[in-house]
Structure 1
């Protein structure tokens, strides 16, 4: 396949995906205006699809921002479903509440202000889908904290598996090919360690999808 600019691929994927509703369009406009690094509609639609495919009833998010990914997830939940949002920024969490309420999903959501790794300790599984999208150097901690709460047929998704701000993609590639690197910043190291761990974990089958900033999808097989 001839080389196609990444932005053209992103646009094509967006065009071929489901249309966002009015609230999601407003949320996208907010992200553009404020420079907020949300997952975007390509990843959002994929998250919703994964929730549908796993027949998800309970979802946990490590890092929810202003509720963009949670809004996509909520569209796939049944009336008795539940999604737990975690966020350290009070204003962002209140904005998430505003948007989810506007979309009619407030009854499905639980809003937790504070560190996601502390919040997860107060919840028991199972969780059909887990999204890891908080501090990159703590991804592995999040995986370890929730691993046993994801049943066979459940999914763990990690955002920024390819890029984000300080993540050095060329060094991620080097680590993936087996090279020893001691010059990784803590964020790149966090992503590299996470990806290596889920790849080697026989209980999960993992693929990295090159949409948005890259998402690692780990499906529990045993």
Structure 2
């Protein structure tokens, strides 16, 4: 169960940017198929945060059919780049179609395969990173990209509060230092949050919309 009230999500949608026709189509697809996306409330935050850091390069660990990448792309300059990664070739092809129809394909790169292996092929810096792959691999994703995040760049981790088999009460106890039996996903999120909170090169806050987004900013003059 998601402890973030649904009323917050609904109100955030009312306050946030109006989804365009492509986003509306992707939302309808997600609802029909039960496909998890960040949703328009979080999507609006992705676009806003990317704009605030003047993002030119974005890397995604897990892109699905391109929902979050579409929101990011709207904040990028014409010569900007969002790198999508996805292990499902069919979903990646759908992502390409959505971004083409939205006019953003020229600033997108579509990588098929494991995101943690793919990021090793790229040099930084990245201004924005979205971690949204397997929950028990969030820490592995952060380790792979931490040194490639630009100063004042941001790392966003979706599902920092809820998703699938994440048990919120157990997550809270783990972060408080109490060890409990729980799911691999819950433990993976807890390990990730402890890692970014203890990393002196980053400062981290929680954005309590959607299923929770941990936002970590790379501090200037710190080696990651």
Q: TM-score range by the shorter chain?
A: over 0.9
Cα distance between partner residues in 2 of 1:191 and 1:176: 10
CA deviation digits over 1:162-194, x for unaligned, max 9?
00010010011111222123x122111100000
Corresponding residue number in structure 2 for 1:190: 188
Cα distance between partner residues in 2 of 1:179 and 1:189: 12
Cα distance between partner residues in 2 of 1:115 and 1:180: 30
Correspondence 1:76-87 to 2 at 5 A:
76-87=75-86
| Secondary structure at the counterpart of residue 128 of structure 1 | strand
- Once superposed, which parts of structure 1, at least 4 consecutive aligned residues long, lie more than 3 Å away? none
Corresponding residue number in structure 2 for 1:61: 60
Cα distance between partner residues in 2 of 1:133 and 1:180: 25
Cα distance between partner residues in 2 of 1:202 and 1:123: 24
Cα distance between partner residues in 1 of 2:72 and 2:9: 20
Corresponding residue number in structure 1 for 2:129: 130
TM-score, normalisation: structure 2:
0.95
Corresponding residue number in structure 2 for 1:8: 7
Cα distance between partner residues in 2 of 1:169 and 1:29: 28
Corresponding residue number in structure 2 for 1:108: 107
Q: Report the number of matched residues.
A: 218
Cα distance between partner residues in 1 of 2:116 and 2:198: 23
- Return the offset for 1:111: 0.2
* RMSD between superposed Cα atoms in Å: 1.2
TM-score, normalisation: structure 1:
0.96
Cα distance between partner residues in 2 of 1:190 and 1:8: 28
| Secondary structure at the counterpart of residue 102 of structure 1 | helix
Corresponding residue number in structure 2 for 1:31: 30
